[in-house]
Structure 1
Amino acid sequence: MDVKVEIWSDVVCPWCAIGKRRFEKALAGFAHRDEVEVSFHSFELDPSAPREREGDLAEHLAGKYGISRDEAADKHRQMTATAAADGWDFHFERARAGNTFDAHRLLHLAAERKVQDAVKERFLRGYLEDGAPIGDPDTLVRLAAEAGLDADEARAVLASDRYADAVRADQRQAQAYGISAVPFFVVDRKYGLAGAQPPEALLQVLETAWTEAHPLQVLTPAGGDADTCADGSCAI
């Protein structure tokens, strides 16, 4: 029986990128890693965002939280340093923010084509490192194709409303779970972990879920219990 890990996240979320990398480190240290099923689920940090937002990210952050542009830029520098420890090379000065609904639709297509992890990785890297306009359909098709999706099929999906219901279903499930921030990890529909947890914490949950799914069966021989030592009953 596989351990099922569902991850709610957005493709413009720096902590989601960091959380993804930390989960990968945890999975690499898990003895049963080949029996873990991982899927990404849709969460929009800003569903009302335009296809491409005007202005740079520091300016938007400053306006949103009522801080100065310099303070916003300093927060970006801190986040960049944190991400570097997990192997990311963030460039917030390049970021071109926008609506992510279409990106999530393509991630559902990618799940069906067995390349969801690669497409998720490419979208995150495209936005956080390369400065790709994440709401632009042509950009999404290019990034998805670089990660293994068929470009024509991806373009056809974006020209239709395919997977829109799947994205909204993910969002309803997030509400049902009480998820209000991402990343959020759900393991075997039993354990929930919020935030970019350290690899050690994620590994512990994987091990707990595995143990519960594979309880030890203690067998009693037909002839009864065999002799054992316990509680000082043996002379040593």
Structure 2
Amino acid sequence: MQIEIWSDVVCPWCYVGKRRLESALADFEHADEVEVVYRSFELDPSAPHHGHEKTLPQLARKYGRPEDEMRQMVASLVETGAEEGLELRLFDTVHTNTVDAHRLLHHALAVGGPAQQRALKEELLAAYFTRAEDVGDHDVLVAAARAAGLEEGPAREVLAGQAHAEEVAADVEQARAYGATGVPFFVVDRRYGISGAQPADVFAQVLRTAWTEAHPPLQVVGAGEAGEACGPDGCAI
């Protein structure tokens, strides 16, 4: 089974949704046969590459809300994150561009597979939300890459050019084709879409349904009928 997750590394609900999916997978008996792959989605492609402005006032302008009202909404989200074991420093994060982070995530997938990509994703989310670092800064990205087990040299080469930019754009186009207008957006086996950071039990239900459909039970024909057969005690000839 494959789960594709469209998300951004500056999306707090993506971090919350990641934890909720992980909770569902922890109780899923076939979790070791589930492959999780991250896909790119840029919440604000126009954001500066080296952001200095705090995110909160930028969001207040974007949505036309007073800063005090936005502060209350952010505080509520911080509490939600805490319920999932996350310490979200949402009042300290900066508004920054994420395309390079996404290119680096594609690099991790290409050289290390889904497991190393997941490790990098966690490092990037932690850098932005728990340490309030600028994930548009290449030094921050390289540090996350090293922490995820990637080699520094190739990571810097990726960031210095435009490697994997086409893959990032393709992910965004696929999200649009699915009708996703926001993230996180989860797709299970290209059959089931889950929009938003749903509760863990919603993920668990979809996992069970998708697994059953992909592995239908054997339909035994003639069970109970007196057909000739050999058993554990031999054959009655």
By the TM > 0.5 criterion, same fold? yes
Are positions 1:128 and 2:129 aligned together? yes
Q: Distance in 1 between matches of 2:207 and 2:90?
A: 33
1:72 equivalent in structure 2? 70
Q: Distance in 1 between matches of 2:223 and 2:207?
A: 35
Q: Distance in 2 between matches of 1:139 and 1:73?
A: 27
1:8 equivalent in structure 2? 6
SS in 2 for 1:49: coil
Q: What amino acid is the match of 2:41?
A: F
Q: What amino acid is the match of 2:150?
A: L
SS in 1 for 2:162: coil
Q: Which moved more, 1:201-210 or 1:217-226?
A: 217-226
Contact 2:53-2:95 within 8 A present in 1 as well? no
Are positions 1:146 and 2:147 aligned together? yes
1:1-236 matches, within 5 Å, as: 3-112=1-110, 113-114=112-113, 115-220=116-221, 224=225
Q: Distance in 2 between matches of 1:223 and 1:74?
A: 65
Q: Distance in 1 between matches of 2:141 and 2:38?
A: 17
Q: What amino acid is the match of 1:176?
A: A
Contact 2:58-2:95 within 8 A present in 1 as well? no
Contact 2:20-2:84 within 8 A present in 1 as well? yes
Q: What amino acid is the match of 1:199?
A: A
SS in 2 for 1:24: helix
How far the C-alpha of 1:225 sits from its partner, in A, is 5.7
- After superposition, the Cα gap between the structure-2 partners of 1:71 and 1:223, relative to the gap in structure 1 and judged at 3 Å, is closer
Q: Distance in 1 between matches of 2:171 and 2:98?
A: 14
- After superposition, the Cα gap between the structure-2 partners of 1:95 and 1:225, relative to the gap in structure 1 and judged at 3 Å, is farther
Relative to the length of structure 2, the TM-score reads: 0.90
Give CA-to-partner distance per residue, 1:40-98, whole Å, 9 cap, x none: 00000001111023422221122112222222221111110000000110112221221
- After superposition, the Cα gap between the structure-2 partners of 1:224 and 1:126, relative to the gap in structure 1 and judged at 3 Å, is same
Unaligned residue ranges in structure 1 (runs of 5+): 227-236
How far the C-alpha of 1:111 sits from its partner, in A, is 1.3
Give CA-to-partner distance per residue, 1:131-152, whole Å, 9 cap, x none: 1111111111111111211111
Q: Distance in 2 between matches of 1:225 and 1:58?
A: 74
Contact 1:97-1:134 within 8 A present in 2 as well? no
Between the two proteins, the alignment pairs up a number of residues equal to 224
Q: Percent identity?
A: 50
Q: Pairwise CA RMSD of aligned residues? A: 1.5
SS in 1 for 2:59: helix
Q: Distance in 1 between matches of 2:93 and 2:29?
A: 38
Q: Distance in 1 between matches of 2:70 and 2:150?
A: 36
SS in 2 for 1:40: strand
Give CA-to-partner distance per residue, 1:169-225, whole Å, 9 cap, x none: 111111111110100010110110100011100011010011001111122359946
Q: Which moved more, 1:113-122 or 1:80-89?
A: 113-122
SS in 2 for 1:92: coil
Give CA-to-partner distance per residue, 1:100-123, whole Å, 9 cap, x none: 000000101111213011110111
1:234 equivalent in structure 2? none
Contact 1:97-1:135 within 8 A present in 2 as well? no
Unaligned residue ranges in structure 2 (runs of 5+): 228-237
Q: What amino acid is the match of 2:21?
A: F
Give CA-to-partner distance per residue, 1:2-46, whole Å, 9 cap, x none: x11100000000000000000000001101001111100000000
